[in-house]
Structure 1
Amino acid sequence: MSRTTIGIVLNGVTGRMGYRQHLVRSLLAIREQGGLPARDGSRIWPEPVLVGRNETKLAEIAARHGLTAYTTDLDTALADGANQIYFDAQVTAQREKAIRVAIEAGKHVYTEKPLAEDLPAAEELARLAEARGIKNGVVMDKLFLPGLRKLKRLVDGEFFGRILSVRGEFGYWVFEGDWQAAQRPSWNYRSEDGGGITVDMLPHWNYLLEQIFGRVEAVTARTATHIHERVDENGDTYRATADDAVYAVFELAGGVIAQINSSWAVRVYRDELVEFQVDGTHGSAVAGLRNCRVQHRAATPMPVWNPDLPAGEDFRGQWQEVPDNEHFDNGFKVQWEAFLRHVVDDEPFPWNFRSGVRGVHLAELGLRSAREGRRIEVEEDGR
């Protein structure tokens, strides 16, 4: 069977997400399954070109996986006509410039979020991509998590009746780096380097809320830097200048109220690192990364408040597990497959730069809401 080979410039592949999720669990996994079927009967075959600043690390990764193409020179990789797609997994502060160069080179662009550090830059990238007629996309991996796909199935099947509210809890304890190494890079906690949980997570919550429940119309947020000092990768103590928690209320189209807490300074006492509870007139659901449980109104018990007696009900046991009903592949891989088919066969891909712009916009409004201490409507500034 013939192959349609697509050269993909992977910038930032030496980082955790670029290497583990995008190279190994997505593109190499696609190759291991023999590629993707294309409309013309051929197989779409991704050919990664590894790009980064450390040639030694790039060479090690290439050797580990039997790859030969790697370089520290982005311009050289983009100049090769065989490379049709540019992918960016760099730190946010480096992203805009590289994407601009890729757009000028005429490459289709797929990128980690956020699309850019601020709204004007994100809007400009979207405008440039549209003007050049290139295909573009932003990683929105959480839409493809098994638990969230089950939740979307419930919404599409009108399980909830009229949806009233969404409550989300996300986060875990990120070690300070003194007595135990931190499990996130230090730049995440420096605002001058593009760090902060608001700019990291609100773009996620925007696309999840928008594509499952409805567009965000207003936001009220409170940010915090709970841990003021941390220790970096070199063992040096530094001042945390970025927020490590954000507590936000989102008003959605149709009157749904969503409240989502995001924190890197919380210890987990729930089944999964992220959970969403959705309550509606006909039923409720709790969805995490993989699992989803429901309680229909006909099966809803009648709790009675009595603080004088111990709780006698197994509240968790009163919920029903939603079955898989299908095979759920790695979420990053699923979206990569969709983008490759978008490039090769022009199949629809709704997770584009414009969607990414809205995520950056919501993050900025969240920060502004926290700064000004007030509710802000999304369209308040005319966008």
Structure 2
Amino acid sequence: MTQQRIGIIMHGVTGRMGMNQHLIRSVLAIRDQGGLLLRDGSRLMPDPIIVGRNENRIAELAKKHGIERYTTDLAAALANPDDTIFFDAASTQLRPELLRQAIDAGKHIYCEKPISEKLDQALDIANYAKSKGVKNGIVHDKLDLPGLMKLKRLRDSGFFGKILSVRGEFGYWVFEGDWMPAQRPSWNYRAADGGGIISDMLCHWRYVLDNVFAPVKAVSCIGAVHIPDRWDENGEHYKADADDAAYATFELEGGIIAHINSSWCVRVRRDDLVTFQVDGTLGSAVAGLHSCRSQHRVNTPKPVWNPDQPQTMNFFDDWEEVPDNHEFDNGFKVQWEQFLRHVVEDGPWNYTLMEGAKGVQLAELGHQSWKERRWIDIPSLED
């Protein structure tokens, strides 16, 4: 079996997300499985070079995972014609300029979301990539979560009938960092560093709502800084001024109303760290990251409101597990494989930088809605 190499410049993979999901569980997993099987029967073997500012740190990462190439010289890496893809998972604030440099070097672009902090920057870099003719993509990892794939399967089968509403609950308690170390980096809670849950999560909710349910038409959002005092990685106190919770309602095409609570200040009493409940005329379903449970109208119980007596019905008993029916791979890896096929075989790919700009747009309009305390219509970016 023939094998072809593809060189991938991976920037920002010493952080939690970049290292675990993109480097180890995606690119290296593809390498360790013997490469990606292509249509012609050959294998595409990723050959990453990891790029970072701290040489000791990236050298240690490379040694631990059997990566032959690493560097602190991004310009030199971009200048190597043998590496054709540039991937970035580092700072959102630096991303537009980094992507422009990579595009100028003729690299195909794949990156984490959001593309930028501002919509005009996102549109500029998306249009620049298109004008230069490089293939480009942004991570839409939640679309390949088993739970959401099962919801989409139910939708496509007509299970819900007419979808009425979507309710999402995302989040968990992120410790303040004083007596218990925080689970998230401190920059998440500083506005000057690009922090805030609206900017972080509404980018996700845009592509989830658009692709799993229906396109977003309007948004009403309120954010909050619930915990203003936090402690950083060195135990130093700082004032948190970026929103740590957001409560957003969306109007979708077809009259669907969606509401999603996003919070790093909530204690979990639900099936998973994120859950989506979809209610339709013929049935309902609740999905987490992996599982999905459904309730058809013939299985729907008939409770009667009576506040004078304890509730005797267990409302969890009337839901059925939606089966896997096939093996689900890591969502990040699935999208890496799709993007690699797009680059080398011109395989189908919908998640361009312009789609990523839509996420930045929704986050920006969410902030505007919060500031102006009103509904905001979502203008088309296709015009």
* Normalised TM-score (structure 2): 0.99
**Residue matched to 1:49:** 49
**Residue matched to 2:280:** 280
Give the whole-Å Cα distance in 2 for the aligned partners of 1:240 and 1:315: 39
- Aligned-partner SS, 1:278: strand
Alignment of 1:175-190 (within 5 A): 175-190=175-190
**Residue matched to 1:158:** 158
Give the whole-Å Cα distance in 2 for the aligned partners of 1:382 and 1:41: 37
Deviations 1:69-108 (CA, angstroms, capped at 9, x unpaired) = 1011111111111111000000211211111100111100
Moved more, 38-47 or 161-170: 38-47
**Residue matched to 1:103:** 103
Deviation at 1:381, TM superposition (A): 10
**Residue matched to 1:253:** 253
**Residue matched to 2:352:** 352
AA matched with 2:235: G
Q: Give the root-mean-square deviation of aligned CA atoms.
A: 1.1
AA matched with 1:82: D
**Residue matched to 2:67:** 67
**Residue matched to 1:10:** 10
- Aligned-partner SS, 2:254: coil
Deviations 1:1-20 (CA, angstroms, capped at 9, x unpaired) = 22121111100011001110
Q: Any stretches of 5+ residues in structure 1 without a counterpart?
A: none
Deviation at 1:222, TM superposition (A): 0.4
AA matched with 1:77: A
Pick closer, same or farther for the CA change 1:295–1:193 going to 2, 3 Å: same
The percentage of aligned residue pairs carrying the same residue is 61
Deviations 1:155-180 (CA, angstroms, capped at 9, x unpaired) = 11110000000000000000100001
**Residue matched to 1:225:** 225
**Residue matched to 2:143:** 143
Give the whole-Å Cα distance in 2 for the aligned partners of 1:320 and 1:365: 38
Count of paired positions: 383
**Residue matched to 1:333:** 333
Q: Any stretches of 5+ residues in structure 2 without a counterpart?
A: none
AA matched with 1:338: Q
- Aligned-partner SS, 1:254: helix
AA matched with 1:114: P
AA matched with 1:139: V
Give the whole-Å Cα distance in 2 for the aligned partners of 1:64 and 1:29: 14
Contact 2:11 2:90 (8 Å CA) reproduced? yes
AA matched with 2:276: F
Give the whole-Å Cα distance in 2 for the aligned partners of 1:230 and 1:381: 38
**Residue matched to 1:21:** 21
AA matched with 1:216: V
Correspondence 1:312 to 2:322: no
Alignment of 1:255-270 (within 5 A): 255-270=255-270
**Residue matched to 1:191:** 191
Contact 2:358 2:381 (8 Å CA) reproduced? no
Give the whole-Å Cα distance in 2 for the aligned partners of 1:50 and 1:3: 22
AA matched with 1:70: Y
Give the whole-Å Cα distance in 1 for the aligned partners of 2:66 and 2:286: 42
AA matched with 1:282: L
Give the whole-Å Cα distance in 1 for the aligned partners of 2:297 and 2:280: 9
Deviation at 1:234, TM superposition (A): 1.4
Give the whole-Å Cα distance in 2 for the aligned partners of 1:325 and 1:87: 33
* Normalised TM-score (structure 1): 0.99
